[in-house]
Structure 1
Amino acid sequence: MNICIASMCKSKEIVKAESVLIDGIKLGLLPDVVTYNTLIDGYSRFVSIDRAYDVLNRMKEAGINPDVVSYNSLMSGAVRKSSFSKTLQLFDEMTQSGISPDVWSHNILMHCLFKLGKPDEANEVFKYIVESGEMYPCMSTYNIMINGLCKNGYVSNALMLFRNLQRKGFVPQVLTYNAMINGLCKAKRLADARRLLTEFCDYGYEPNAITYTTVMKCCFRCGKLEQGLDILSEMRSKGYTFDGFAYCTVVAALVKTGRIEEADEIAEKMMSSCLAPDLASYNTMINLLCKQKRFDEALKLVDEIERQGLKCDQYTHTIIIHGFCKNANFEDAKNHLDYMNTLGFGFNLVAFNCYLDCLGKAGHIDEAVKVFDTMEVKDSFTCTILVHNLCRAKKFIFASKVLVFYIKSGFQILRATQRAVIDGLCTAGFNNEAMKVKSKIRSARLKH
């Protein structure tokens, strides 16, 4: 009966699992603690924590005392559903019920505290596990600690812990290395990340696509394009699996640095590898085609996305609009903006900001002002873009009026743009107006 209930729960067939329980009781098979714990785990994973907690109450009514596994399942489910306060309540309830938490209870508690942004408290739990003598930390304990420290910005502490554990005979897993490498890359500590990647391989582990792609992205973020391409070559020469996301990372970096021909070669290799592209891959390809001014092919790729059963997002269409704008093809850009509205996306602020900026930079400032006036939604970037382009067109009085109005309305206009307006007024001989603008900006800052 327990095996059947467990199978049903794993298949997300909770109703059938309950039917098996009812049939078992009818046949005289009374459920035990394992039966109820299985149901608790199933409900907490696939239904809700409240329904899982109801099973705990049913368990008590049947005269069966919950154990540490019961509460661990509930706590784990609460963390998965981001119910962190509920997790802490369950831990307290467990201890108050006289049930001694085990290492997994503390692991879940540590994970919860890291998610809440309380690394100091999580560290106290870790110390208790290590020093209590009542339990022994497992591999997951160390992984949670290292990953949690990295995610909360304590990468140096995580690396110190990692090295201390190694000196004490701890053999890191692939998961541990990936967490540590990811943390170092996010902190832009490329040299440390690369050393760890080399060490990773020396241990005989096989880095997966996530590991390599993480380091590649760090190389590109740090402006080390050639190092990133070396990682790509290394991965391919060793025969490691290379997924579409990794290819897209390389293509995007090459496009950003203007190396269009190389990006095209990598893109062709991706397509010839028979990888099933996802939306991110398609968006990267569309961006590449737009950079090459191959708009007809980019639009055909949009149709291909739909045929593949995927749905284009706002980012897909924004790439195309940006491509049209950069090519000074404002009519097609506007038509595509209107087309987006027919697709039910609503107002695309990012695309409109891009359209507005490109109009201004191309010298069509009057048209840019008209677009600005008709925009349903505006943010600080919208206002900054218009004011900046009005300054480029030497319309400093108009720019000052827009600047003051939107700063008074609570928008955050870039300081550089504010200075451009004031300097422009002074250069044009409007010194009194410049003084008034400064005063109004100061007043607005005090107000907000």
Structure 2
Amino acid sequence: MYQPLGVHRLIYRTRIASYVKAGLIDYAVKVFEEMTLSECRVFGIDYNRFIGVLIRHSRLDLAHHYYSKMAPLGFSLSSFTYSRFISGLCQTKEFMFIEKLLNDMDRLHCVPDIWAFNIYLNLLFRENREESALEVFGRMVERGREPDVVTFTIIIDGLCKMKKFDAAVQFWRNMLDKGIRPDNKACGALAVGLCDGGQVDLAYELVIGVISGGLSEVSTLVYNALISGFCRAGGIDKALAIVSFMSRTGCKPDLVTYNVLLNYCCNEFMFEEAVKLLKKMECSATEPDVYSYNQLLKAFCKANHPDKAYQFMVTKMVPKGFCDVVSYNTIIKAFLQY
């Protein structure tokens, strides 16, 4: 009895789908190969679907194999499948093949979806391929792929890690000029990057500017980066002003905030202020931890007050169970040197 080829194609597709659903990818490959060699006509959509399956199951070599068969047949991947392919190749860092896919997309006048674009940019910066990353960024923008806040965050973070602070700030300003609101991660990338590079005043100007202007709401991570930066630079007054500002915005100081301030006070032998901070922490919802107490313990020892350090440890730390090996080593070393 005569059966149309369309029926055969439907049977092949059903068998492939059932094997994929069961996780039997090797069997699905055999059926797909059988389908391509049969009299049944295979369409571009079949290659798109199957290559998508192979990518999802990390069978990238097979995906490459079947992709190479598409062009001679006059088929091409959809933008989504290209994007999925690029993101999959990012996991194995196959830069040459990614570039081939991007060039093939250029010829088809399509660009990767924004999520694949961002994954590739992030990989390039992680691998210290800054020039390639910025070149890809330029090419994608020229072809109509508008960057989003994630794109700018990746670039700002990458440039800051490479100490390219002027370029990072330029991208920050470009993002604002495009009307893109920086989110917590974008603010964090700039604040942490600039503060680590000693550009604390600039970080404060740019980040607090967008917060004050109502363009962004940030977490304690961003505020703590600025507070830590000013403490390292000796700007305790500015650090305390940020603590006051963050409280007014509804963002409460956390354990990291207090420990940063406590570390500064202890390093500067500001014992009264350090003790006040500890008491403030004890009276608030933010309980001190072992690090908090060890900071003050070390400060007493550095100031040649081992007796005060010992008394502090016995009366404050031991009852709370906050003595660790660092505490005992600090006290022993202080008495040996006294």
210, 213, 222: which one aligns with 2:224: 213
* Correspondences of 1:7-406 after superposition (within 5 Å): 21-22=21-22, 37=52, 40=55, 51=58, 53=60, 56=63, 67-76=81-90, 78=91, 86-92=93-99, 94-95=101-102, 102-104=112-114, 105-130=116-141, 132-204=142-214, 205-275=216-286, 281-292=289-300, 293=309, 294-296=312-314, 297-299=316-318, 303=321, 317-326=325-334, 328=335, 330=336, 358=337
1:219–1:228 CA contact under 8 A, matched in 2:
yes
2:262–2:277 CA contact under 8 A, matched in 1:
yes
Q: What letter is aligned with 1:321?
A: N
Query: What is the Cα-based RMSD across aligned positions, in Å?
Result: 3.9
Which residue number corresponds to residue 393 of structure 1?
A: none
Change (3 A) 1:284 1:59: farther
Change (3 A) 1:221 1:101: same
CA offset digits 1:183-212 (Å, max 9, x no partner)? 221222222222123312223222210111
Q: Which runs of 5+ in 2 are unaligned?
A: 1-17, 26-31, 33-45, 71-75, 301-308
Q: Could you tell me the TM-score, scaled by structure 2's length? A: 0.67
1:146–1:158 CA contact under 8 A, matched in 2:
yes
Point out which structure has higher relative CO (alpha carbons under 8 A, 6+ apart).
Answer: 2
CA offset digits 1:53-97 (Å, max 9, x no partner)? 47858998xx99792243244145x2xxxx6xx242551464587
Distance 1:212 1:300 in 2: 33
Q: Which runs of 5+ in 1 are unaligned?
A: 1-17, 44-50, 306-315, 331-357, 363-448
Which residue number corresponds to residue 418 of structure 1?
A: none
SS class of match (1:207): coil
Distance 2:59 2:326 in 1: 44
Distance 1:156 1:179 in 2: 14
C-alpha deviation, 1:152, in angstroms: 1.0
Q: What letter is aligned with 2:230?
A: C
Change (3 A) 1:97 1:166: closer
Change (3 A) 1:282 1:20: farther
C-alpha deviation, 1:222, in angstroms: 0.5
C-alpha deviation, 1:287, in angstroms: 2.5
Change (3 A) 1:260 1:171: same
Q: Could you tell me the TM-score, scaled by structure 1's length? A: 0.52
